[in-house]
């Protein structure tokens, strides 16, 4: 069905979950007048309960559309994708449940956004569905939450403060004070249990993905060290975030002829850095042992997360240092609770941005910076997430 004839602008999958419920509440408060949106999921009664909760925010939402659909039913997913311009989904772990919806959107020419932080899933979706999405015109945009919007748009914002046409070096440093949900834990353990499969998917993608002609895009990974300019101990983070930044750099000429990015956790004290490394190593060991993995996920089931009070006391900052063209710039992205309050905001605004903003033409699997760039950044600033230049100097 042509996009102009579709009956809905945005469909949200996963509203009965923890983060999905927060995303639905954000849309209830902030979707623009005239936005035609709906909830989708497999359980009609639970969807109706979410709708009742939203009606307490806005009584007009008592008539919000509910679409019954299941990731195991390809026909129902195809029907949903054909009805709407954009699908947003919080249903994870994405390696287990995500691909059927990506496939439906890529086939229907429907824009798609999710919250995955799973590199293997992103690589497998590129291999399986990127070309089909290019042909249909669908924009498949993964990682539209704390993974990886602040880092991707933060790097883009930093690059914009530096001279164009120069070799650029950027390093991002993440600090967060927050709780986490069962869904986040399940996704992390799934990814850590599949390191060999993830490496194979990444290598398969490298073999087929075009490289930017005449430009060099590189990741930079230093071992744990003290950064005197930043004033922090930095520990490399092997997450999806730096991969997203580098793919944006490959897609956008503004990142210059030679772009390098490094991605780190920033901590004040060396013992904290050592403890974090040890905890990550222990989690990796647990992920390899099925009974231990199931025991840990059972302690915090999917659908549960931090309380409203805990989220209100949570925050994040991503500080970036960019250098090039004899200039140095220090920038910061700052917000509230990263994993849930701000993530639901980022996902909802990403969906609305694809539905309503005049973005640059793109198709296939693309990043937030390449697909939405300045428009999404402006939306997030209006929504209370700060992007600021701390200082600039000649070097």
Same domain, 358 and 281: no
**pLDDT tens column, 311-369:** 888 999 999 999 999 999 999 999 999 989 999 999 999 999 999 999 999 999 999 99
CA angle 195, 107, 110 (to 5 degrees): 95
Domain shared by 234 and 162, yes or no? yes
Which range, of 97-101, 252-256, 265-269, 274-278, averages the lowest pLDDT? 274-278
Are 348 and 334 contained in the same domain?
A: no
Residues 284-303 pLDDT 10s: 665 666 676 666 666 656 55
- pLDDT tens-digit profile of 140-174? 999 999 999 999 999 999 999 999 999 999 999 99
Q: Is 218 helix (H, G, I), strand (E, B) or coil?
A: strand
If asked whether residues 234 and 311 sit together in one domain, one would say: yes
Regarding whether 25 and 37 lie in a shared domain, the answer is: yes
Rounded Cα distance between 357 and 378, Å, is: 11
Residue 287: domain span: 149-338+384-394
Instruction: Clarify whether residues 167 and 130 are in a common domain.
Output: no
How far apart CA 352 and CA 343 sit, in angstroms, is: 14
Q: What is the mean pLDDT of residues 73-93?
A: 95
> What is the C-alpha separation between 174 and 171, in angstroms, rounded?
10
pTM of the model: 0.93
- Residue 270: how many other CB atoms lie within 10 Å: 11
Rounded CA-CA distance 189/99 in Å is 19
Instruction: Based on the fold, state whether residues 203 and 334 are members of the same structural domain.
Output: yes
pLDDT tens readout for residues 93-147: 899 999 999 999 999 999 999 999 999 999 999 999 999 999 999 999 999 999 9
The answer on 138 and 32 residing in a single domain is: yes
Inform me whether the pLDDT recorded for 218 exceeds 60: yes
Within this chain, do residues 59 and 128 fall inside the same structural domain, yes or no? yes
């Amino acid at each position: 069905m042509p996009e102009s004839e579709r009956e809905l602008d945005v469909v949200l999958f996963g509203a009965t979950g923890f983060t999905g419920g927060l995303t639905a509440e954000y849309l209830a408060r902030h979707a623009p007048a005239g936005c035609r949106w709906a909830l989708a999921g497999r359980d009609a009664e639970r969807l109706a309960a979410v709708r009742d909760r939203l009606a307490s925010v806005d009584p007009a939402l008592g008539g919000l559309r509910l679409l019954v659909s299941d990731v195991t039913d390809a026909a129902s997913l195809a029907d949903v994708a054909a009805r709407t311009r954009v699908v947003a989904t919080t249903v994870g772990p994405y390696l287990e449940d995500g691909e059927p919806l990506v496939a439906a959107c890529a086939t229907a020419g429907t824009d798609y956004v999710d919250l995955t932080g799973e590199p293997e899933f992103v690589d497998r979706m590129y291999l399986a569905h990127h070309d089909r999405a290019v042909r249909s015109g669908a924009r498949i945009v993964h990682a539209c939450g704390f993974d990886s919007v602040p880092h991707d748009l933060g790097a883009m914002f930093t690059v914009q403060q530096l001279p164009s046409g120069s070799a650029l070096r950027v390093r991002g440093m993440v600090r967060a004070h927050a709780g986490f949900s069962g869904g986040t834990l399940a996704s992390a353990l799934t990814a850590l249990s599949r390191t060999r499969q993830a490496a194979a998917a990444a290598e398969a993608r490298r073999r087929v993905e075009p490289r930017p002609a005449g430009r060099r895009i590189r990741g930079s990974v230093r071992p744990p060290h003290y950064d005197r300019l930043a004033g922090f101990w930095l520990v490399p983070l092997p997450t999806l975030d730096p991969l997203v930044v580098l793919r944006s750099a490959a897609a956008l000429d503004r990142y210059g002829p030679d772009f390098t990015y490094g991605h780190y956790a920033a901590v004040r004290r060396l013992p904290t850095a050592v403890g974090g490394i040890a905890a990550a190593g222990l989690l990796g060991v647990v992920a390899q042992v099925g009974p231990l993995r199931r025991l840990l996920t059972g302690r915090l089931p999917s659908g549960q997360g931090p309380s409203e009070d805990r989220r209100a006391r949570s925050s994040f900052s991503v500080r970036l240092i960019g250098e090039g063209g004899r200039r140095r710039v220090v920038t910061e992205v700052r917000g509230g609770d990263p994993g849930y309050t701000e993530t639901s905001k980022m996902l909802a605004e990403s969906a609305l941005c694809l539905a309503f903003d005049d973005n640059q033409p793109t198709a296939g699997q693309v990043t937030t910076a390449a697909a939405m760039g300045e428009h999404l950044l402006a939306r997030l600033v209006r929504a209370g997430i700060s992007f600021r230049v701390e200082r600039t100097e000649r070097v």
